[in-house]
Amino acid sequence: MFNTINSNIVTTLGINALPVEQQKEAMEKLGAIVYQEIIMRALDIMKEEDKDEFEKLIEKNPDPEMMFTFLASKVPNIETIAAEEAEKLRTESADIMSEIGK
């Protein structure tokens, strides 16, 4: 699950076009923004008991793979949310860059 989300983010944001050494750095910075947005949207959808379970999970082991596996089990459209958030960041970044160029 996490690898699918990562791949989507890398492709949508064009990170895959960067040299390998820059891909990791870009993924750490941009991926963190996207992951945070995915988690916030997922939490809005989840039941209260699922939120509590998620909180306990990340306190015990904040492994991204485990977190996204859990989210996928509770939020059926998590991949769609991930794609939307990656696209949203790409669009917002492009808008900011076009404003800078004016």
Write the pLDDT tens digit of every residue in 47-97: 999 999 999 999 998 888 899 899 999 999 998 999 899 888 888 877 776
Instruction: Tell me the per-residue pLDDT of 5-23, one tens digit each, with 9 for 90 and over.
Output: 777 777 877 878 888 888 7
Q: What is the pTM of this model?
A: 0.75
3-state secondary structure 1-49: CHHHHHHHHHHHCCHHHCCHHHHHHHHHHHHHHHHHHHHHHHHHHCCHH
